[in-house]
Amino acid sequence: MSPFTPALRLHDRYVLRERIGLGGMSEVWRADDEVLHRPVAVKALAGRLAADPQWRATIQREARAAARLTHPHVTQVYDYGEAALPDGTVVPYLVMELVDGRTLADRLAGGPLAWPEAVRMAGQVAAALAAAHRIGVVHRDIKPANVMLTETGAKVLDFGIAAPAGPQAVGQTGELLMGTPAYFAPERLDPGPANPAGDVYALGALLYRALTGRAPLPVQTWDDVVDLRANRPPVPPLRVPGLPADVADLVLACLAEDPARRPGAALLADRLGAGRP
């Protein structure tokens, strides 16, 4: 059961109005910022996770990662706080830009996108990732549910499991498997630092699905990820009427098993025409 309720006031500033999202790890509320007089989104850890120091550190890491990014295709983070509720529970939360639109996951439930729309969306996501990678942040969970489609283009959500790129302390095995199996780059099974190429792989899988309505490889579970690492079939070629051959080749390059063979996010943004009508 959620510790949050409508009309709850956080830090004498943010007044919750209605819950607009609920997942396994977090819940999101529409709220009013009574200082700046604007609507915002408040994201808080769900249920028992709020009492877990590791997960509290995770949401704080998201706040720090996202706050360093200023980009039109990244959801802006305004504030971070910890709410002490009447029952003694302390719940960390983020205050974010309230984005009107629907997720790519919801849109794909109705079938694939027209190829120009899919390519434009992917170019915008690539531009957001390029901005993150430039400051050393790897998202690590690019998937349709974390891309919001708005009137001004795609916006990347949820830097909750973002990590710094480059050398760092290696976490435990369970930490390595954070993310979503269908968009999980094969090299992420190995201990090591976060690599921007993993985000590129996920974007390739996302664009493949947006174009065709299906995943590039039969991956639904973590067991599938492990099995495909040992016996990986080729990705079926894209057969989308009208899709330029160079774009089809670029999608397959994003899905290369060897991360060194994948293009960078900045090159993807340029080749896919981020932001162009």
Residuewise pLDDT in 10s, the chain (277 residues):
577 889 999 988 999 999 988 766 778 899 999 999 999 999 887 666 656 667 667 777 767 777 778 889 998 888 888 888 777 777 888 898 898 899 999 999 999 999 999 999 999 999 999 999 998 888 888 999 889 999 999 999 876 554 555 544 333 334 455 678 899 999 888 877 789 999 999 999 999 999 999 999 988 888 888 888 888 889 999 999 999 999 999 999 999 999 999 999 999 999 998 544 3
Residues 158 and 179 in one domain: yes
Per the structure, the complete domain to which residue 79 belongs is given by 9-97
The answer to the question of residue 3 being in a domain is no
The answer to the question of residue 188 being in a domain is yes
Residues 86 and 149 in one domain: no
From 52, 87, 141, 199, the catalytic residue: 141
What is the H or E stretch that residue 59 is in?
A: helix 53-67
Last residue of a domain, one of 74, 97, 120: 97
Residues 107 and 161 in one domain: yes
What is the H or E stretch that residue 45 is in?
A: strand 38-45
Overall number of domains in the chain: 2
Last residue of a domain, one of 97, 123, 149: 97
Interatomic CA distance for residues 110 and 167, integer angstroms: 41
- Of 186, 189, 192, the residue nearest 174 (C-alpha): 189
- Of 217, 242, 205, 225, the residue nearest 104 (C-alpha): 205
User: Is 141 one of the annotated active-site residues of the chain?
Assistant: yes
